[in-house]
Amino acid sequence: MNPTYLIVETRSEPNIALIRLNRPKELNALNLELMAELRDTLKQLDQDDEVRAIVITGDDRAFAAGADIRQMSGKGAVDMLLIDQFSTWDTIKKIKKPLIAAVSGFALGGGNELVMHCDLVVASETAQFGQPEIKLGVIPGAGGTQRLTRQVGKVRAMEMMLTGEFISAHQALTWGLVNKVVPVELYLEEALNMARQLARQSPLAIRLAKEAVLKAHDTHLAEGLEFERKNFYLLFAGQDQKEGMQAFIEKRPPNFIGR
Q: Which residues of the chain form contacts with ligand HXC (CB under 6 A)?
A: 26-27, 29, 65-70, 106, 108-110, 132-133, 136, 140-142
Contact criterion met (CB below 8 Å) for 103 and 63: yes
What is the Cα 95 distance to its own chain's centre? 14
Active-site choice (17, 62, 113, 199): 113
Q: CA dihedral defined by 26, 229, 142, 250, rounded to 10 degrees?
A: 20
Q: Whole-angstrom Cα distance, residue 232 to residue 229?
A: 5
Least CB distance from residue 143 to ligand HXC, whole Å? 8
Active-site choice (17, 102, 111, 133): 133
Give strand pairing partners of 122: 102, 180
By C-alpha distance, which of 132, 133, 115 is closest to 124? Answer: 115
Least CB distance from residue 220 to ligand HXC, whole Å? 21
Q: Which is nearer to ligand HXC, 65 or 118 (CB)?
A: 65
Q: Catalytic annotation on 185?
A: no
Given the DSSP bridges, would you call strands 62-64 and 99-103 parallel, antiparallel or unpaired?
unpaired
Produce one character per residue of 27-52: b if its CB has 16 or more CB atoms within 10 Å, e if not: bbbbbeebbebbbebbeebbeeeebb
C-alpha angle 153/169/95, rounded to 5°? 70
Q: Which is nearer to ligand HXC, 58 or 140 (CB)?
A: 140
Least CB distance from residue 110 to ligand HXC, whole Å? 3
Q: Which is nearer to ligand HXC, 41 or 241 (CB)?
A: 241
For residue 116, the tally of other CB atoms under 10 A from its CB is 22
Least CB distance from residue 37 to ligand HXC, whole Å? 15
Q: Catalytic annotation on 67?
A: yes
Q: Catalytic annotation on 133?
A: yes
Q: Which is nearer to ligand HXC, 41 or 131 (CB)?
A: 131
Least CB distance from residue 81 to ligand HXC, whole Å? 13
Q: Which is nearer to ligand HXC, 26 or 218 (CB)?
A: 26
Active-site choice (58, 110, 111, 244): 110
Sign of CA dihedral 31, 194, 190, 157: positive
Residues designated catalytic: 67, 110, 113, 133
